[in-house]
Amino acid sequence: MGHYTANLRDIEFCLFELLGRGEILGKSVYKDLDRDTAMGMLEEIKRLSENDLAASFVEGDRLGVDFDPTTGDVKVPASFKKSYNAYIQGEWWRVDTPPELGGTKIPSSLRWAIAEMVLGSNPSIHIYASTYGFAHVAYMLGTDDQKKIAKQMVDHHWGASMMLTEPDAGSDVGAGRAKAVQQGDGTWHITGTKRFITSGDSDLSENIVHFVLARREGGGGGTKGLSLFLIPKFMFDFETGALGKRNGVFVTKVEHKMGLNVSSTCEMNLGEKEPAVGYLLGDVHEGIAQMFKIIEFARMMVGTKAIATLSAGYQQALAYAKTRVQGGDMKFMSDKTSPRVTIINHPDVRRSLMVQKAYSEGMRALVLYAASIQDEVAIARAEGMEKDKQDDLDALADLLLPVVKGYGSEKSWTLLGTESLQTFGGSGFTQDWPIEQYVRDAKIDTLYEGTTAIQGLDFFFRKIIKDRGRAIGLLSKEIGAFAKSGGTHLEEKLALQKTLEDLNAIISVLVGHAMASQSDPAEIYKVGLNASRCLMAVGETITAWLLLRQADIAASKLPTAGKDADFYSGKIATAKFFVRNYLPHISADRAIVESTDNSIMEIPESAF
């Protein structure tokens, strides 16, 4: 066994008891899959993740990647390559591949449940294996010839990268200066420098196809002038995949990072040594819209990675707390001769464990709830559901994405350091336990694919304002109906009602500032000061709602639970703890938002 323990019982509970995913299996687009097959897949990926994949987690961190600056080639440790190959040889790549290219059609909820275990055991494996998702995008958006590129990517298991960021532009993608010039044969030559490119190179595959944003000649400024190009490391025959000459895309530097060290993060040069030949995706200049297909997948992956790591940290902390003997029971603190106890008996350790349990289980439900909406989107499209219903589902799926990524990554990173590592005391700060690596590896999740602040702004301006409150209204209505449903946990449901009122007030105040900014531009600062707070409040509210739904299910199952009695009792206790300890913060957030002024924006820089 490696460092990782998967919580398959809770994954199964979320999928089938909370979210009713069994109801969509055997029907429509998922007609070839039943619950037994789905559980078999989950059990097998659990076994693989806990053993083969987890085996190289520590060594991959300690050794990192080897970069040869003379050739621009990157190599990963042999142990990591063995783990990666176990994933590929197990044919798990099929879950991200179009059926037309040999993939397996499964619900998004099952796909992300599988991903949780891979990301929790060895996240870099999943990151490198994102190539199949890239191939899916190339197949979906590409010309007939470019669909052949996607086929070669899958058939030969080539790598892929997404190249957005440039050294000067950073998160301001529209400021990118990489340039594309069309050639007489229909290809393009791209020049420029890209930075922080995940999986920019490795020896896991013989070729890599880079998805590169560049400004076409005469394309104008901002994001509208950007186009998306497919640039292979080696040129190749579209029909056979046979490799040709080296293309002009080279790694010039590999970043030295605080974590996730076996994932190569590269600075890339295009077109300096020789032309970097690329193919315009779809033969259309729709770079940002096309790239967002990849970004949306990446944001879901990053949020799932963060939450999976928190779950791994909690499992480690729980096991340690049950075995580490230190101090006496607090009830007998005046008796210095009282028996020593395991630290799970100490009140603050128990509080800390319950915090970790509540967030890891609540945010797992958040990921799988978001994925279940993606399931419904796929079914609605396949069955030709009325447009309004499809639009509602699309809007809800879009709304949840920054919550999964922004809220999930922020809470996971914070809790891994303040609670999971803390459970170990001084031992947590050493490399004797994997928890310090979890903390280092998880920090990037708040930065990857748009920082938390960017997620907050995206959530407010695109998912609320631009959407005219459609999706947030639908979600609020569903949560409100549950809060008023009566039955068990009435006190907690009343608290959820109050929280929903506070959340709606927060959103209303920020919408008011946005509207006022049309006549007084400085009013928009008040939105900027609180967008992340709003995103976190939405995340807390959804998490509380999902935990309470779990508690209601647990209460109904408890009388006949048998060996699952403790599992269901834990669900009820967790929901009550979260509601009582975390929902009151939303009232404080409302007061802060309502009293926000622009004084902080008026302070001179020299005062900081």
The catalytic residues are: 449
Beta carbons within 10 angstroms of residue 576's beta carbon? 19
Closest CA to 548 of 594, 448, 479, 608: 479
Query: Cα–Cα distance between 537 and 523 in angstroms, integer?
Result: 21
User: How far, in Å, CA of 92 to CA of 48, rounded?
Assistant: 11
- And the tokens for 484? 């008023």
Tokens at 558, concatenated: 């408890």
Which residue from 557, 551, 414, 534 is spatially nearest to 495, judged by alpha carbons? 551
> Which SS3 state, helix, strand or coil, does residue 254 take?
strand
Cα distances (angstroms) measured from residue 310 to each of 7, 217, 315, 570: 12, 46, 9, 18
Which residues have C-beta within 8 Å of that of residue 219, sequence separation ≥ 6? 225, 226, 227, 285
DSSP 3-state percent helix, strand, coil across the chain (nearest 5): 65, 10, 25
C-alpha torsion angle, residues 384, 387, 389, 392 (rounded to 10): 130
Cα distances from 386 to residues 1, 27, 381, 399, 466, in angstroms, run 49, 19, 9, 20, 22
Task: Report the C-alpha gap between 107 and 376 in whole angstroms.
Answer: 9
CA–CA dist 567, 165 (Å, integer): 45
| Phi, psi angle pair for 89, to nearest 5° | -65, -25
Question: Which residues, at least 6 apart from 114, have a Cβ–Cβ distance to it below 8 Å?
Answer: 41, 42, 45, 92, 95
Token digits of residue 282: 């779809």
CB proximity list for 353: less than 8 A, separation 6 or greater: 314, 317, 318, 321, 344, 423
